[in-house]
């Protein structure tokens, strides 16, 4: 729970869209989003490199919203500012 609160705060200060964080287009399928998340997890996971904790937290938060079709629809319709309060 604490991790999600911290990552939500990080995302609020980030100007990049959740799609940009995961490196996918806004039209990406659920499979493409999952594939991108897994790829970046291997690279930025804290067990691999502690220097990338913030980046990993961003990835997890972005994925938590985009993997859920309801949260993703709200994010897409409300835009960046309001959609990030979904965690």
pLDDT tens digits for range 25-57: 999 999 999 999 999 999 999 888 888 888 999
In CATH, the number for domain 2-86 is 1.10.287.110
Q: How confident is the model at residue 80 (pLDDT cuts 50, 70, 90)?
A: low
Q: Percent of the chain, pLDDT > 90?
A: 49
* Per-residue CA distances from 27 to 39, 52, 71, 80 (Å): 19, 27, 15, 16
d(CA 18, CA 84): 9
**Alpha carbon 67 to chain centroid distance?**
9
Give the pLDDT confidence score for residue 38 in this predicted structure: 95
62: its two tokens: 């972005």
* Per-residue CA distances from 21 to 27, 40, 60 (Å): 14, 10, 10
């Amino acid at each position: 729970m604490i991790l999600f609160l911290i990552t939500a705060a990080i995302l609020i200060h980030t100007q990049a869209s959740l799609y940009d964080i995961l490196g996918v287009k806004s039209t990406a399928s659920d499979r493409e989003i999952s594939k991108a998340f897994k790829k970046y997890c291997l690279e930025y996971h804290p067990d691999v490199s502690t220097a990338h904790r913030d980046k990993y937290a961003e990835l997890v938060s972005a994925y938590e919203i985009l993997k859920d079709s309801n949260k993703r629809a709200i994010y897409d319709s409300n835009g960046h500012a309001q959609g990030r309060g979904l965690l």
